[in-house]
Chain A
Amino acid sequence: MFGIIISLTASIGFGSSSVFAKISMQKMQSGTTTLISLITSTIITLFVSTLFTQTEEYNKLNIEILMLLFYIGVLTYFFGRLLNYTSVQYIGVNKATPIIGTTPLFASLTAIIFMNEKITTPIMIGTALIIMGIILITRKTIDATKY
């Protein structure tokens, strides 16, 4: 039960982040909001990591791992968070967040293309539902240009 509550807390954290960003971007640029949010996240996560990391673990960090961490930094924070907040500024939280929620689909597709994972029936069913959801959300907005 505790694990599920913590996972729900994660959902609330991810879900509320874009809402706060949206309010912040009413007078600030998306790049500024992203930078401030990243600095805050870094401080908190660094503090938490010191609680869960033993000193000898830092010695295991080598060039190969650091290069991979560089890729994660670029993909997750430069492309992920910056474009997430910029899209929120352009189309609003309610339209952008469900699209960004399709992340696991792209993770599965990347794993299928680059890591030779198999396409299974649940992935196909999930993908079909996601595509239907995206069509439902985007169709009316693009037609009517409400924003």
Chain B
Amino acid sequence: MQLNIKTRQNKVIIGYILAFMSAIGYGTGTVVTKHVINIFPNPILVSSISLIIGTAIISIFYIKNLIQDLSNETPIKELSNAIFAGISSALGVNSLFIGLKFVPVSVASPVANTFPLVTIIIMKIFYGKLEKISLETILGSLLIVSGIIIITIYTS
């Protein structure tokens, strides 16, 4: 039991570290993207070529996992949700770039960055049984989104 708790605690800590590393990856990627868009002003083409490169790199490491997961017993529900995850991400990126054609960055970026709250709302409405949402999570997300809105408004 003691060992089980320890393992779960390690998993939680690793999960948070990975989430921070992901944010650092996205954050530094954003800075490089801004630099590229200054010299090559076509954000959607920049996004599509970097997606091709990203997909190629991930394929090198995970193509075996893909074959393994799909050959065991084709999990239709899981497969379709992975496809929806890709569609949602593409919708996010492309909508943001198209939105920037109609409103300034100081408006589009803070609105787009409210996504953690959207996630919590979607989880609460559609998948309440999958994960519990605590008051701390809701308040913490509100603080994070407020901070992000302040930063994006004043830096864009």
**Which positions in A face B, CB cutoff 8 Å?**
2-4, 6-29, 31-42, 44-46, 48-49, 52-53, 57-58, 60-61, 65-66, 68-87, 89-111, 114-115, 117, 120, 122-123, 125-130, 132-142, 145-147
Contact = CB atoms under 8 A, between A and B. Distances in A.
Contacts of A87: 15-16, 18-19, 22
30 contacts: A4-B99, A4-B103, A10-B92, A10-B111, A11-B114, A14-B115, A16-B84, A32-B68, A36-B82, A48-B48, A53-B42, A65-B36, A66-B49, A70-B53, A75-B29, A76-B54, A82-B22, A91-B12, A91-B15, A94-B132, A99-B16, A100-B19, A103-B23, A117-B155, A123-B151, A123-B154, A127-B151, A130-B148, A133-B141, A134-B140
Main secondary structure of the interface of A (DSSP, over half): helix
B51 A42 contact: yes
A133 B12 contact: no
B25 A41 contact: no
Nearest to B91: A13
Contacts of A4: 99, 103, 107-108, 111
Main secondary structure of the interface of B (DSSP, over half): helix
B112 A7 contact: yes
Contact of A75 (B28, B87, B103, B146): B28
Contacts of B65: 29, 31-32, 35
Contacts of B113: 11, 101, 103-104
Interface residues of B, number: 122
A107 B26 CA distance: 8
Interface of B: 5, 8-9, 11-16, 18-33, 35-36, 39-40, 42, 44-59, 61-63, 65-66, 68-70, 75, 77-79, 81-96, 98-103, 107-109, 111-123, 126-127, 130-134, 136-137, 139-155
Contacts of B62: 29, 31-32, 34-35
Contacts of B95: 6-7, 9-10, 13
B56 to A, nearest CB: 8
A2 B107 CA distance: 12
Nearest to A127: B147
A3 B119 contact: no
